[in-house]
Structure 1
Amino acid sequence: MKFSRILVGVDDSQDALLAFKYAVDQAKQDQAELIIVSILENEEMNVYEALSKDYVHGERAELEQHVSSYQRQAREAGVEMVRTIVSEGEPGEVIVKDIIPHVEPDLLVVGSEAKKGLAQHFGSQAAYMAKYAPISVLVIR
C-alpha cells in the first residue's frame, strides 16, 4: 500500500524518535506528504503556569521551534512535502478528534510510550489512538 499523507506524532521519547524515522522513510519511499505533530500537554503545568499567558505562550513557542527542527531533518532526509502542527491538550484526543479530521492523513505513526505525562501511568496514548483513530495506526516500539 502506498500512502499519500502520513501524520507522525513526536514528543522526544525514544519510541517517538523511532516513529519519526520510520515516517520519514515511508514518506520518502511513497513520495508522500509528511505532517509532524506535537501536543503541548496542559496537565504538565501547575495552576499558576496555566493561568499565565506568557508561560503558555513561551512553552508553545519553544515547542514550535523544536518541531521545526524535525521538519528540517525530514527535508534533509529527502522528504519534499513536510509541514508541522503544534496544538494543546490531551495528545490522543487532540490527534484523533481534531488533527486527523482536519489533515485527512492515510496513516498515523506514533511511538508506543510517551516521554512524560499521565499517559505513562494511566494508559497509553498510542493505545487510545490505535483504538479510536479512523485511519490506520502504526505503533512503533
Structure 2
Amino acid sequence: MKFQKILIGVDDSKFAENATQYGFELAYQFKADVALVHIVEPVITTPANDTSMMGSLIPSLNVGAEQVDMINAQQTYSQKLISDTIERYGKGLTITQYNEMGDTADTIINCAAQFKADLIVIGTHSRTGFDRFLMGSVAESVIRHSPVAVLVVPMKEEKS
C-alpha cells in the first residue's frame, strides 16, 4: 500500500508533536501530500445573568466583543502552530492547511474527506480506565468513524 495523501492532526501537546514526526516521516517516505489540521473546540459559556446552567456554544449569533477577541486569538494561534509545523517538518512537501472550529474527531474526519486523505495520523495520550472515561478519546472516535486508515501514535504520559 502506498499513501498519497496524509492528514496529520496537530495541537500544542507533546503527543501530537510525536505523531507529527511520524506523519512527516511517512510523507517523505511515500512522497505524499500532507494536510495539517488544528481544531479549536467551541467553548460553552453561560451569561452572567443566566441561572439555567445551560450555557451556549460559541460562536453564536449573540457573540460579544470579548468572545470575538477570543475566537480571533484562537485562530491566530492555530495559524501560527500550523506555520511553525510546516517550517519545522514540511520542507519540499505540498501541504494543505485546515484551521477549523468544531468537535475534534468529527472535524478531523471531515477534513480528511475534503482532502481525500488515504491516511490519518493522530497522537494519543494513552489514557486508560477512569481518565479515559472522563476525557473521552478523540483517537478512538476517529478510528471508529473514519472511512480511511488511521495511524494512532501512542505516547505514555510520564508519572511525576
TM-score relative to the length of structure 2: 0.75
Which of the two has higher C-alpha Rg?
Answer: 2
One-letter amino acid of the counterpart of residue 8, structure 1:
I
1:129 matched to 2:149? The reply is no
Cα gap change, 1:47 to 1:103, in 2 (>3 Å)? farther
What does residue 50 of structure 2 align with? none
In structure 1, the gaps of 5 or more residues are none
1:105 matched to 2:117? The reply is yes
Moved more, 11-20 or 122-131: 11-20
Residue identity (%) = 26
Instruction: Tell me, yes or no, if the aligned pair for 1:74 and 1:82 is still in contact at 8 Å.
Output: no
Q: Distance in 2 between matches of 1:26 and 1:38?
A: 19
Decide which structure has greater helix share.
Answer: 1
Q: Distance in 2 between matches of 1:23 and 1:100?
A: 14
Q: Distance in 2 between matches of 1:57 and 1:24?
A: 28
- 1:128 CA displacement: 0.1
Query: Counterparts in 2 of 1:1-141, with a 5 A limit?
Result: 1-43=1-43, 46-47=45-46, 50=58, 51=63, 52-76=67-91, 79-96=92-109, 98-113=110-125, 121-141=134-154
Q: Distance in 2 between matches of 1:55 and 1:80?
A: 32
Secondary structure of 1:63's counterpart equals helix
TM-score relative to the length of structure 1: 0.84
For the aligned residue pairs, the C-alpha RMSD in angstroms reads 2.3
Moved more, 65-74 or 130-139: 65-74
In structure 2, the gaps of 5 or more residues are 48-56, 127-131, 155-160
- 1:3 CA displacement: 0.6
Secondary structure of 2:11's counterpart equals coil
Secondary structure of 1:59's counterpart equals helix
